[in-house]
């Protein structure tokens, strides 16, 4: 067995060992409620929250998708990929401060779908549940695919084998670990990844002397320095999808609910885009360098090919382990979160049976294993790249954007208008994306359709004195299910 394979095996064993240790610890303590497995004890401070956010968001968004954007679109990819993700993250936490708002309205909240159900009604909850399942299954597939791409380059094995190995370890680690173990494990994962990316950026730039790098970039000016090479329409399309990706991400709401208080949650979310941006810009630049050196490869292979062929062995192994750390952080967050939605918003919503700690543990593990298997099967059969999957995931989330924002801040947002906004919005997105060969107008049409129906419908169904926001808040305080 090679040194690289030994190091990867040790890394996998450390992950599984950490998960197993925490699993045994929970079993012995007898404190194994469903809420603790998916939201922790709601006592996390800024540091763990911020590390968790950056580690989760720094996975296939950064090491693969950002490098792909720099490879295919040059400086345009660096600029617009970074801005396309950072701006929605700022909007989520600076002007609106959605994390604080949802904590005020739902102090004991658990899931994203629960917010929709309590603010609107049952049919809106079911519509949101269907959309969320579609988008998050796509997300999990993209993560498993990213894991396979990293392992393929690291171990020099075929992609299918890498997907199965990486996906299998991911399932075991996530199923064994509860929320508490995952959130503290991400601190280690982020430290490993941060060091790896820093070394990678330095070595990528040093692939050329500075004069040679400037010469190579200048010689490929049309490819590398065109700030709108991505195309204005495509850039707008990506930015809209990114807004949907952020505002419709249930992981962000889960982390917001887990914080100790509003102050630490707000601080973590506001530092989040600033801490994440260097990862994106750095790896997008790596994609540009990969284009100069290896123009014949595909975009999603840019970062991995550059590292495997250019870096000394120790640096390549460090980078790949850092990449795995970020991918696994994203994977455990996505699977753990979607499992919480399956359990709280599907199973418990319709089950009358008492949930014992033992049954909670079995149900949690079974659900997370099932979702991981779906991710592996999807990754083995999905032909498009990671960036395409992420954009599609954001596209499906577009009907959520104003359903969430107006529902949290505008008292007249009506449940019926919200329901039809989501239904017609997702229908227009699906028809345009799949019926017209992934039309670049898909996201624009989806966001315009959903907001027009939501706003016009709410005006028609309410009057100036209507206050559905206060009504939903009162129902939450009484333990009700929201607006009927």
Q: How far is CA 137 from CA 58, 109, 238, in A?
A: 19, 23, 20
Residue with more model confidence, 42 or 84: 42
β-partners of residue 259 are 44
Comparing 78-92, 230-244, 247-261, which segment has the lowest mean pLDDT? 230-244
Comparing 179-183, 238-242, 339-343, 453-457, which segment has the lowest mean pLDDT? 238-242
Task: Name the band, by pLDDT with cuts 50, 70 and 90, for residue 484.
Answer: very low
Average pLDDT of the segment spanning 345-355:
79
pLDDT at 483: 35
Q: By the 8 A CB rule, do 82 and 227 touch?
A: no
Cβ burial of 209 (10 Å; 0-12, 13-18, 19+) is exposed
Residue with more model confidence, 398 or 59: 398
Average pLDDT of the segment spanning 452-466:
95
Comparing 3-12, 60-69, 172-181, 316-325, which segment has the lowest mean pLDDT? 60-69
- Per residue in 191-227, pLDDT (tens digit) is 888 888 788 778 776 766 656 666 666 666 666 777 7
Task: Name the band, by pLDDT with cuts 50, 70 and 90, for residue 44.
Answer: very high
pLDDT at 116: 92
Best mean pLDDT range from 80-94, 118-132, 209-223: 118-132
Two structure tokens written together for 285: 């630049």
pLDDT at 449: 92
CA dihedral 225, 230, 232, 233 (to 10 degrees): 170
pLDDT at 210: 55
Task: Name the band, by pLDDT with cuts 50, 70 and 90, for residue 29.
Answer: confident
β-partners of residue 44 are 259
Q: By the 8 A CB rule, do 300 and 64 touch?
A: yes
pLDDT at 481: 41
pLDDT at 472: 62
Average pLDDT of the segment spanning 371-389:
79
- Per residue in 249-289, pLDDT (tens digit) is 899 999 999 999 999 999 999 999 998 888 888 888 888 88
Distance CA 88, CA 332 (A): 23
Under 8 Å CB-to-CB from 346, ≥6 apart: which residues? 129
pLDDT at 78: 82
pTM assigned to the model: 0.85
Angle between helix axes 122-155 and 386-397 (nearest 10 degrees) is 170
Best mean pLDDT range from 125-129, 215-219, 348-352, 385-389: 125-129
Q: By the 8 A CB rule, do 146 and 376 touch?
A: no
Distance CA 335, CA 366 (A): 11
Task: Name the band, by pLDDT with cuts 50, 70 and 90, for residue 482.
Answer: very low
Positive or negative torsion for Cα 446, 449, 455, 458: negative
pLDDT at 390: 67
Centre a 10 Å sphere on the Cβ of residue 53 and count the other Cβ atoms it contains.
26
Best mean pLDDT range from 37-41, 384-388, 462-466: 462-466
CA 371 centroid distance within chain = 15
Average pLDDT of the segment spanning 131-159:
86
In this model, does residue 442 exceed pLDDT 50? yes
Comparing 52-61, 142-151, 381-390, which segment has the lowest mean pLDDT? 381-390
Task: Name the band, by pLDDT with cuts 50, 70 and 90, for residue 470.
Answer: confident
Distance CA 177, CA 19 (A): 4
């Amino acid at each position: 067995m090679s040194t690289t394979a030994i190091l990867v095996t040790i890394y996998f064993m450390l992950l599984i060992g950490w998960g197993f240790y925490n699993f045994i610890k929970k079993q012995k303590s007898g404190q194994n409620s469903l809420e603790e497995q998916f939201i922790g004890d709601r006592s996390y401070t800024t540091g763990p929250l911020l590390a968790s956010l950056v580690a989760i968001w720094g996975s296939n968004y950064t090491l693969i998708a950002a490098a792909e954007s720099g490879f295919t679109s040059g400086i345009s990819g660096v600029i617009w990929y970074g801005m396309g993700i950072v701006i929605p993250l700022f909007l989520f936490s600076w002007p609106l401060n959605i994390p604080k708002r949802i904590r005020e309205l739902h102090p004991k909240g658990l899931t994203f779908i629960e917010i929709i159900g309590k603010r609107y009604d049952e049919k809106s909850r079911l519509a949101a549940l269907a959309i969320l399942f579609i988008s998050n299954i796509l997300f999990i597939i993209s993560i498993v695919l990213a894991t396979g791409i990293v392992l393929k380059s690291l171990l020099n094995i075929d992609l299918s084998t890498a997907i199965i190995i990486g996906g299998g370890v991911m399932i075991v680690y996530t199923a064994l670990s509860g929320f508490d173990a995952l959130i503290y494990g991400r601190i280690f994962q982020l430290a490993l990844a941060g060091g790896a990316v820093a070394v990678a950026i330095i070595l990528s730039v040093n692939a050329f002397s500075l004069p040679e790098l400037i010469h190579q970039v200048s010689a490929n000016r049309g490819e590398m320095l065109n700030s709108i090479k991505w195309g204005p329409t495509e850039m707008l399309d990506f930015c809209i999808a990114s807004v949907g990706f952020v505002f419709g991400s249930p992981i962000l709401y889960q982390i917001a609910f887990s914080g100790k208080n509003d102050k630490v949650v707000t601080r973590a979310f506001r530092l989040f885009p600033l801490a994440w941006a260097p990862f994106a810009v750095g790896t997008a630049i790596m994609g540009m360098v990969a284009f100069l050196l290896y123009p014949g490869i595909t975009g999603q292979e840019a970062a991995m090919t550059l590292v495997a062929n250019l870096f000394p062995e120790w640096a390549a192994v460090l980078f790949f382990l850092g990449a795995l750390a970020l991918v696994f952080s994203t994977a455990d967050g996505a699977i753990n979160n979607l499992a919480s939605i399956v359990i709280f918003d599907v199973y418990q919503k319709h089950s009358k049976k008492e949930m014992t700690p033992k049954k909670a543990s079995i149900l949690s593990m079974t659900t997370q294993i099932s979702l991981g298997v779906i991710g592996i099967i999807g990754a083995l059969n999905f032909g498009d790249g990671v960036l395409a999957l992420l954009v599609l995931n954001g596209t499906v989330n577009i009907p959520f954007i104003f359903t969430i924002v107006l529902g949290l801040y505008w008292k007249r947002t009506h449940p019926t208008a919200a329901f039809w906004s989501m239904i017609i919005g997702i229908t227009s997105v699906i028809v345009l994306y799949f019926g017209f060969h992934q039309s670049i107008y898909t996201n624009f049409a989806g966001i315009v359709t959903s907001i027009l129906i939501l706003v016009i419908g709410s005006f028609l169904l309410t009057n100036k004195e209507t206050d559905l926001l206060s009504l939903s808040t009162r129902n939450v305080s009484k333990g009700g299910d929201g607006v009927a």
